[in-house]
Amino acid sequence: MMRSVGKLVTMALVAVQILLMWIALREGQVGDGPPTVPVTPAADPVEALTIESALPLTDPVALAWDDEAVLVSASMEVIWDRDAAVTVPSTIANSGALTLVYAGGDRQLSLLMDRGSGVIFHAEEGEWSDELAIPLPVSAIVRSSAISVLAAEVSYGTSYRAACPEYRFVTRVYLSRSADSAANPVWLVSYVDERHRDRPDIQIAVDAVMGRTVDGEAMALGCPEV
């Protein structure tokens, strides 16, 4: 299970870049851009959105912005109920947000969406390199982002959250191309402590086709003072 530290480090660097963008959006450090926000779906989602179920809502927005836009980055934040007993879940929590980044030519469009309502409440346009506009392998996904979180919960997540539930209630999931071009894409699942939310305590890679944990790294599961 714990085999390729080098591969995990590569994926972690990608995750850190996405995390920095996420923090900037959440803390209001960027301005609104096209499209005009908020963008509200025609109907409320039947259940909280995941990366995969959000794409039918965000793809049209991106294609209206650039008719050749491709998805190049996707992440999901799951916020667990701090008031509930921490047990191994059968479904993921409903709260949280999604960050989806599309590239079109030398531009990028970053969309921040509420998982519960499907509302896109932040949008930002920025520069992008044509050479980096490689579409994420969404069509290759067999095991969903939700399944990846549940797999991570069994491995480490539930124990980690239960040790310190007042601070450990956020799980982040990123879709990543494998460092090995011949391998399957992976979900990179990370857990953070709110006292140092820019530094994940746990990172687990879950094969997006097979659904098994293929790599991981975890700190001690206790609840030390920081």
Distance CA 201, CA 25 (A): 22
Task: Give the list of residues 6+ apart from residue 89 with CB closer than 8 angstroms, or none.
Answer: 150, 153, 158
Give 101's Cβ-side CA count (13 Å radius). Answer: 23
Distance CA 40, CA 101 (A): 18
Which sequence spans correspond to the domains of the chain? 5-218
Nearest Cα to Cα of residue 78 among 167, 155, 193, 169: 169
pLDDT band at 3 (very low <50, low <70, confident <90, very high): very low
Nearest Cα to Cα of residue 154 among 97, 103, 88, 215: 88
Mean pLDDT, the chain, whole residue set: 84
| 4-18, 66-80, 124-138, 189-203: the lowest-pLDDT one | 4-18
Confidence check: pLDDT of 155 > 90: no
pLDDT for residue 181: 60
Mean pLDDT of the region 210-220: 79
Confidence check: pLDDT of 131 > 80: no
- Token pair, residue 159, equals 């124990």
- Within 10 angstroms of residue 27's Cβ, the number of other Cβ atoms is 8
Mean pLDDT of the region 100-113: 95
**Percent of residues, the chain, with pLDDT higher than 90:** 65
